[in-house]
């Protein structure tokens, strides 16, 4: 990284990697304060939507030195897109973070059309965004994280053998739920912030039904935002309502599931959700 970016994201390395399927990604690796690879092996926390989330979450690694509420050491690995693709991250994430076969909710389609009508995106951008939602491959992206990226991190950094975590927000939160429900054994805790469970027919409900009473062992922490629920945007009302339904079904069983309602909007909730996950699942 350049000197300027090192000043903004201290102790952060950057590299680019291609998946076994030929897709390219940009990766930011942030090590904790005073980290000495010769003496310290820390678990890895993977954070999705790195093009947006890295700058808003990686600096919070200083919480590991907070004397009032110590957070366990971790190495943050933020995953996003590189080069020309980086400017299209908001669309490309649909391909990678949304479960295969996930229905496109009417409220979401309406929100995209409203964005076009308001001038927030062009007709071409709106169509490309919706097209990406009709061809989704969260399964391939999960395979990339576990079989391509994690071995690279193991090779290049001094990491612990266990205790790893995953945090995602919005569609990243949907991916977190998908990963948890898949029973992936790499992660011992998973944070899902305002997960994009846009429809009542979401794949997460089908997967939960398939599991029966046998919930995954990994700890799951879910957050939603009160202004999503109480605001007048139908898409945000839907994701909070559907997430609440999912939580009711989960807490009725004997699983390691926690949740929190934050006083944020969907846009401002990222950092607050990340901190909630840290305080709940990484407290020292």
pLDDT value, residue 4: 46
Supply 128's token pair: 């490309």
Give the separation between CA 105 and CA 238, rounded to whole angstroms.
9
- For residue 38, the model assigns a pLDDT of 84
- Give pLDDT, residue 114: 86
Q: In 10 A of CB 83, how many CB atoms? A: 9
Q: How far apart are CA 190 and CA 179, in angstroms?
A: 8
Contacts of 65 (CB under 8 A, 6+ apart): 33, 34
At 164 the three-state DSSP class reads: coil
Is 69 within 8 Å of 113 (Cβ atoms)?
A: no
Identify the burial level of 63 via C-beta atoms within 10 angstroms of its C-beta, where 0-12 means exposed, 13-18 middle and 19 or more buried: buried
* φ and ψ at residue 185, rounded to 5 degrees: -90, -5
| Alpha carbon distance 66, 273 (integer Å) | 18
* Domain residue spans of the chain: 3-281
Residues of the chain falling short of pLDDT 50:
1, 4
**Residue 250 to residue 227: CA distance in whole angstroms:** 23
Nearest-angstrom CA–CA distance, 256 and 272: 21
Element (H, E) at 124: helix 123-133
For residue 6, what pLDDT is reported? 55
Domain 3-281: give its CATH code.
3.40.50.1820
Phi, psi of 193 (to 5 degrees): -95, 125
Q: How far apart are CA 241 and CA 49, in angstroms?
A: 24
Token pair in block for residue 236: 């945000």
SS3 175: helix
Q: What is the pTM of this model?
A: 0.94
**Which pLDDT value is given to residue 7?**
57
Q: Which pair of structure tokens corresponds to residue 34?
A: 């005073």
Q: Which residues contact 45 (CB under 8 A, 6 or more apart)?
A: 74, 75, 76, 77, 164, 165, 166, 167, 282
Condensed to tens digits (0 to 9), the pLDDT of residues 163-213 reads 999 999 999 999 999 999 999 999 999 999 999 999 999 999 999 999 888
Helix (H, G, I), strand (E, B) or coil at 29: strand
């Amino acid at each position: 990284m350049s000197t300027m970016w090192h000043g903004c994201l201290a102790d952060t390395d950057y590299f680019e990697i291609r998946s076994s399927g030929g897709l390219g990604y940009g990766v930011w690796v942030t090590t904790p304060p005073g980290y000495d690879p010769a003496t310290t092996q820390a678990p890895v926390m993977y954070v999705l939507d790195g093009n947006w989330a890295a700058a808003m979450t990686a600096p919070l690694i200083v919480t590991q030195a907070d004397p009032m509420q110590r957070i366990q050491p971790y190495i943050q690995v933020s995953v996003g897109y590189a080069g020309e693709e980086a400017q299209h991250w908001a669309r490309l994430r649909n391909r990678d973070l949304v479960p295969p076969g996930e229905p496109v909710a009417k409220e979401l389609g309406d929100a995209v059309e409203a964005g076009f009508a308001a001038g927030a995106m062009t007709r071409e951008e709106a169509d490309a965004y919706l097209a990406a939602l009709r061809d989704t491959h969260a399964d391939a992206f999960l395979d990339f994280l576990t079989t391509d990226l994690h071995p690279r991190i193991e090779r290049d950094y001094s990491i612990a053998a266990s205790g790893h975590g995953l945090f995602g927000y919005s569609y990243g939160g949907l991916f977190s739920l998908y990963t948890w429900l898949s029973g992936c054994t790499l992660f011992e805790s998973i944070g899902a912030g305002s997960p994009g469970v846009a429809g009542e027919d979401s794949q997460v409900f089908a997967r939960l039904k398939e599991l029966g009473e046998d919930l995954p062992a990994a700890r799951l922490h879910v957050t939603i935002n009160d202004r999503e629920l109480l605001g007048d945007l139908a898409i945000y009302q839907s994701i909070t309502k559907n997430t609440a339904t999912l939580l009711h079904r989960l807490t009725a069983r004997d699983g390691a599931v926690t949740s929190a309602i934050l006083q944020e909007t969907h846009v401002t909730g990222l950092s607050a959700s990340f901190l909630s996950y840290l305080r709940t699942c990484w407290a020292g």
